[in-house]
Chain A
Amino acid sequence: MEPIEPSTNSEHIKPSPEHDEELAPIEEAMLTEVVVPIDGVTIAEDLPALLLCNNCQQPVAEADRFCSNCGTVRVIAAESYSEDNFMAEAKPVAAFYFIILLICIGVKLIDDLNQYKYMFWVEVTIAIFTFVFAGSRWHQIAPLYSLRGIKPKLMLGYSAIAVVFSLLVGWGADYINAELFKSEAVYILPYLSYPFTAVVFLFSIAVYPAIVEELGFRGYVFNVVRKLGGTNSAIFISSVTFAIMHLNIIGLIWLVPFALWLGYLRYKHETLWYGMVIHFMFNATTAVIEMIDYGVAPFDF
């Protein structure tokens, strides 16, 4: 190894004037290659971008909305509108909502369905419809299941809020039911006659809705409505359909805000995970309180 001696080596490193001249044309060629505009966009960042009109190839300024030479509009609305396209997109999502709604109405109507041995098959049916409709747009929904960017601390915070919200709603609902309707709403009764009550109950009340309802409303309905009417419409309409589907007029008071929160989080984080965990924690809190009330041990095998 030769010892590094800057004082002696510097002469070799310094480019000679001839060397400079040799390099210059190459550098120039490289520069022009970088600056060549592709569809009015240049790659070089520090050089001023040369924007050209798509129609007449004359230079236009960044802020221009029209080419001052030929009058062609530069910023065009995202995609052209046609009523047929709109209806083609709207019909399946309307069908999805009304299928789920009719199943829910059926459950309210036929008392027998409330036995879990039937309710299980109702849940399976709803899940199948949800998977079929969501599957038709799976390429848009699949990225919402990515675990990348999920923050565990944020998840914990949201879960805590969900538990507190669930407790408040539980007390509020008990109060309204007792005062207004002289009744109480209990979910656990149909499950008490089965073995593994706790497991079946928690699955049906907390795990299943967190998976299927989130996929259906925050996944499928949200995506379709966002395409039809924009993000705000998507958050609101996915929430309203989700809330009305529960067929509980008093319940709308807390279902709508809860769903709006879930819809907003789905938009903000572009993921279904926060919604699924919050939905699970919210429902599980209610379920655990009922299990304590009815003396059902969590692992009562």
Chain B
Amino acid sequence: MEEQPFENTLTPSSETLHQTCPICSAEYNTQPKFCSNCGYPINGTFDEQDAFDLEYRSQRASLEGALIIAGKARTALFVLSGLLLIGNGVIAYVQGSAAMFIVGICISAIFVGLGFWSKKKPFTALVTALVLYATIVLADAAFDPSTLIKGLLVKIIVITYLISGIKSAKEAQHIQDELNAKNWNQ
């Protein structure tokens, strides 16, 4: 099948010829080859339009991919706060310490809060969570080295998820900036 360039199928009849960009809805009375608002080859060949489509979709897909990994870090935070709540609760019960119980609840609440915040500000929230968690692990280990071994797997998994979440959040931030610059957010 022969693909006809768009500009040949619609010959301009008068100056009042009206065109709307199918991607961003920008309106034109002239016949630009590319939409100056979003870069779509509005009067380009089908090949050019295909190439645009591909890049547009792939950028949006990489953004979604990065956000999914950041989302996994969020899930890890929620699981972590649950585990900490149980762990600190048991310690507080054994020690019979009300202060320890309150501190345990506060720490879990902070991680839940950071989890929710990471939807809006993934980079800042996940870095904060990592700093806080690593500090707690290190401080615990300094006072009682045996705590480092307890739940070692959980510690490694949580920290791994947080680090990859931070990287993805940064990547998502960068793609978002590019999408903003190109007006590709619709």
Contacts and interface: CB of A to CB of B under 8 A. Distances in A.
Interface of A: 60-61, 64-71, 73, 75-78, 81, 83, 86-87, 97-98, 101-102, 105-106, 108-109, 180-181, 225, 228-230, 232-233, 236-237, 240-241, 244, 247, 249
A83 B127 contact: no
B26 to A, nearest CB: 10
A244 B174 contact: no
Contacts of A247: 139
Interface in B116-149: 121, 123-124, 127-128, 131-132, 134-135, 138-139, 142-143
A83 B171 contact: yes
A233 B142 contact: no
Nearest to B37: A65
B167 interface: yes
B72 interface: no
Nearest to A80: B174
B86 to A, nearest CB: 19
Majority secondary structure, A binding face: helix
Nearest to B32: A68
B99 interface: yes
Interface residues of B, number: 37
Contacts of A66: 34-39, 182
Contacts of A97: 131
Interface in B97-129: 99, 103, 106, 121, 123-124, 127-128
18 contacts: A65-B182, A69-B32, A73-B39, A73-B181, A77-B174, A77-B177, A78-B177, A86-B167, A101-B135, A101-B138, A106-B142, A230-B173, A232-B124, A237-B131, A240-B131, A244-B132, A244-B135, A249-B103
Given A65-B39, A249-B103, A71 B134 contact: no
A64 B36 contact: yes
Given A233-B124, A237-B131, A247-B139, A71 B44 contact: yes
B139 A105 contact: yes
Contacts of B124: 229, 232-233, 236-237
